[in-house]
Amino acid sequence: MRDAGQIPGDGAVSPAMSIDRIALRGPLGDALAANLRGRLSHFIVDEHSPAIALFAPELRARNQEGDWYGEHAGKWLYAAARAVMHGGDATLAGNLRRVADYLVSVQEADGYLGTYAPERRFMRKQPPKPVSWDGAPSLRTWDIWTHAYLILGLVEASRALREDAYLAAARRIGDLCLHALTDGGIDINDLGNHHGMSATVLMDPAVELYFATGETRYLDLAKRILAQVEANPALRLLSRALEGADASEIATGKAYQLIWNLVGLAKLHRATGEARLLEAVQRLSENIRAHHLSLGGGPWGGAGHRSREVFNPANVFSPEGYVETCSTFAWIQLNRELLRITGHARYAGEIERSAYNDLLGAQAADGEDWCYYVFPNGRRTHTTYWRCCKSSGAMALEELPALAYAVDGDGLRVQVYGAGEVHARLPGAGAVTLRQDTEYPFAGVIRMRLSVEREAAFALRLRVPEWAAEIGLQVNGEAVQVEIDGDGFALLARHWHDGDEVELALPLPLRIHHACNRNVQESRAPDGSPVAQEVLRHAYCALTRGPLVFATGLVDGYKHDETLPEMPTTDWIDTTAGSAALALRVPGRTPILFEPYFLAAGRRDGSWRLTWLSLPPAAAEPASIKNS
């Protein structure tokens, strides 16, 4: 089993090879700074903040509501802890300590730290589930879900503040869950929506507890959950994945929960080395990548289904499809795990694509407001205080610094591009700083300067994006031959000196993507022969440049659709408007101005973004259209 790279602070490698600090600038750095000024500094500050006041014993004792609001505490703990680790903000660190101290103080003797009255708690056996489309439990509860996020948040707070009491509190939750699922006779499938998936997400924090403590009972907890998952005919996550099921066919196909369960399976593979776990995760990951992502890298659904957050059947396309920000967050985390396990550049590429498009596209400039859903074609809507996606978006952003760089067996990897710097320690070289100076993702030239404590030989690996047909490399102004390793990184293995400079040139190709909203009616003739008649076909095209998806606002100020007279080509793109804006020249009308999706329409609430433009019927013949 390979463990490719280190997340700062998790103790994955020896002190001789470590990442000490990462600072991001450019669009990702701006988003992180806004997150600190906005969501992290205002939503929760102390025990009186509404999302924490839910845990007060007097409120907990009488709470009969069944909703998810308790999740915000663990999500905020996690995001704030990550922000403290990479940013060191003293005020946020103080708030983090105060909130974590309060939660520990109200944890009950048996380890319970939820928001529900005793009769609604996950340890209490309930009547059998009623039959429902989403496999909801008989008594609506998000109790396990809330505790799952509390474990993750407390573990991160313990790492950030070096406070054992927070890890001890997380352990008590894990012990309570293990008791409930063994001696308590509870089946975790009965505790969550979507045929159990909203509870079986506990696999992830269970394994995280094992990593943090080394206690095998938490590994046993994760294995117990998986065994109960496999015994649930409506779920059977591992078996169905290995059988080649489409993501939409597992349980309800709920994107957020399904992907979070895959994160748990990936961590369980890391802990056990069991090959079939990784095979299952990779199968479903590739299925999602091939059939269930928006152009901006977010998992999407909502076409012809009662739930807006459930994967559509494979190859179903709609330009108005829903991308839940929580699902984008979970997708980033899943690719984080696969990147760590395999070291392959494509997973870093998925993280970058999602981050620069659907994630930043959901955040408002103030760092406080977020979209619950983003749409390739649709109106931007900033969601309300209590909605899950505001906290998930904040968590996803705080994942990014630790994913931009990694150390491995013989050097340093650059995984996500953008202005910023990494401070690391490498054997032989000692303290190493790599600084990226670049306008990426708006421009493709990335200049890197190395500072090393001691001259030494080590490898520098630079991710080669899948969209880059060719790249150019220079070291100290001289061109060098590009050698790409088996993981998709350009390899520079050499003796490095203080002040060495590397220039990576990534041509940012303009690409026209085609997709089709198509429906075929299938039946049989009287003689039994198959009959297939196409009854619906609407063709579309969209534009990307390098890692960025481009969008326009309402066409001519009022139209939410535009049909182009013919199939465009990249020759129609006029780049004279600058690197952050493009003009699509259309015969017979004024050019249509496009800008990066995440910046479109000034990120204003209520504004429109149009990614996909319609094509006329003549351009929509079967031979000319392929979903991409």
pLDDT in tens, 306-329: 788 999 999 889 999 999 999 999
Please say if the pLDDT value at position 189 is more than 60: yes
pLDDT value for 15? 61
Report the residue count for the chain. 628
The pLDDT of residue 589 is 85
In single-letter form, the type of residue at position 10 comes to D
Of these ranges, 173-187, 506-520, 531-545, 564-578, the one predicted with the greatest mean pLDDT is 173-187
Lowest mean pLDDT: which of 155-169, 335-349, 513-527?
513-527
Cα–Cα distances in angstroms (integers) from residue 340 to residues 266, 408, 426, in the given order: 10, 10, 19
- pLDDT at residue 10 is higher than 60: no
Q: Residue 303's pLDDT is what?
A: 75
CA 351 – CA 359 distance, rounded (Å): 10
**Residue 257 in contact with residue 189, Cβ under 8 Å?**
no
- Pairwise CA distance, residues 553 & 564, whole Å: 16
* Per-residue three-class SS string for 357-373: HHHCCCECCCCCCEECE
The whole-number pLDDT of residue 620 equals 56
The predicted structure's pLDDT at residue 9: 43
Taking only the tens place, the pLDDT of each residue in 594-617 is 999 999 989 999 999 999 999 988
pLDDT(193) > 70: yes
Specify the higher pLDDT residue, 179 or 384.
179
Tokens encoding 398: 């705080």
Q: Is the peptide bond preceding residue 547 cis, with omega within 30 degrees of 0? A: no
pLDDT at site 520: 86
The pLDDT, as a whole number, for residue 628 is 44
Taking the CB of residue 304, how many other CB atoms lie within 10 A of it? 10
Instruction: State the Cα torsion 311-313-318-320 to the nearest 10°.
Output: -20
pLDDT of residue 427: 94
Read off φ and ψ for residue 562, nearest 5 degrees: -145, 135
- Identify the band that residue 2 occupies on the pLDDT scale cut at 50, 70 and 90: low
Q: Which contiguous run of DSSP H or E holds residue 354? A: helix 345-354
| Residue ranges with strand state E in 150-189 | none
- Assess contact for 425 and 109: CB atoms under 8 A: no
> Average pLDDT, whole number, for the chain?
93
Answer yes or no: is pLDDT of 621 > 90.
Answer: no
pLDDT by residue (tens digit) across 35-47?
999 999 999 999 9
Specify the pLDDT at position 208: 98
The pLDDT of residue 586 is 83
Please state the φ and ψ torsions of residue 545, each to the nearest 5 degrees: -135, 110
Cα(31)–Cα(139) distance, integer angstroms: 39
Q: Rounded CA gap, 164 and 176, in Å?
A: 19
In this model, does residue 195 exceed pLDDT 90?
yes
CA 422 to the chain's CA centroid: 22
- Is 80 or 7 the better-scoring residue by pLDDT? 80
pLDDT tens digits along 80-127: 999 999 999 999 999 999 999 999 999 999 999 999 999 999 999 999
Q: How confident is the model at residue 48 (pLDDT cuts 50, 70, 90)?
A: very high
626 confidence band (pLDDT: 50, 70, 90): very low
Instruction: Give the residue, 104 or 10, on which the prediction is more confident.
Output: 104
Lowest mean pLDDT among 205-214, 486-495, 553-562: 553-562
For 63-81, what is the mean pLDDT?
95
Mean pLDDT of 54-64: 96
Cα–Cα dist 260/282, whole Å? 14
pLDDT value of residue 509: 86
Q: What is the pLDDT of residues 289-309, one digit of tens each?
A: 999 999 999 999 987 677 889
